Amino acid sequence: MTAPLTPPHQPPSQPHGAPWPSPYPEPTPDPGPARDVRGVFAVLGLSLPLGVVFGLMWLWLAPRIPLISDGKAVFLENSEGESAIGADGTFALLGLGFGALAALLVFLWRRQGGVALVLALAVGGILGSAVAWGVGTFLGPTDDVVAHARAVGKGVPFDAPLELNTLGALLAWPIAAMALHLALTALFGPRDPEPEWGPWDQPPPRRSEG
């Protein structure tokens, strides 16, 4: 009786010494970090054009502060007006609206959410607000009030420069964007799958007394 050629407990090898394929799939690299980086740059890139539109709307909707000159000095035409407060309030309200719009667009684009996207919305909101501030003040009335008064003449009202007196209004966009995005993710974002319980995880049956 001859002994087997293959040792026990060892599978035979393939021809030409090729190893048998593994029954387990090869691990794939995690695309999470690269995806997060692309998402951050996409959110920041979205904030720039939105900031330009924001600045144009602020320039269009913000109330004007009328000034007048007597030939020697420049005065407010209406000393009891609240136009300066109105300009800051208009900026803050527009910031809330654009922050909500940015959060909605980002959520519809990537529902998974994540800390990176929330931080990108915050930084992008500050960047977009700064762009809007710059666009509004650059395209608005000149900040050289004396030259403007001389150009229009004595006793002729003209608009004061568009200014943002409350810098806290710059935070309206990022606060609204982060708050709404977190709310949308919590309410409508994907849920983690429920764990599947095996028979070994079930509690032992109770013994009948009797």
Report the C-alpha gap between 62 and 87 in whole angstroms. Answer: 5
Handedness of CA 147, 148, 151, 154 (dihedral sign): negative
Give the model's confidence band at 56: pLDDT under 50 very low, under 70 low, under 90 confident, else very high: very high
Domain extent listing, the chain? 39-65+80-140+160-188
3-state secondary structure labels for all residues of 9-29:
CCCCCCHHHCCCCCCCCCCCC
> Which H helix or E strand runs over 186?
helix 172-188
Per residue in 105-138, pLDDT tens?
A: 999 988 776 788 899 999 999 999 999 999 999 9
Instruction: Return the percent helix, strand and coil in the chain, to nearest 5.
Output: 55, 5, 40
Q: pLDDT per residue over 163-189, tens digit each?
A: 898 889 999 999 999 999 999 998 887
In 3-state terms, what secondary structure has residue 68?
Answer: strand
Calculate Rg over the CA atoms of the chain. Answer: 33
Residue 49, pLDDT > 80, answer yes
**Looking at the predicted structure, is the pLDDT value of residue 53 above 90?**
yes
Coil, helix or strand at residue 31: coil
Summarize pLDDT for 144-156 with one digit per residue, the tens: 887 887 887 777 8
Over 80: is that where the pLDDT of 18 sits? no
What mean pLDDT, rounded, does the chain reach? 79
Rounded Cα distance, 74 and 70, in Å:
7
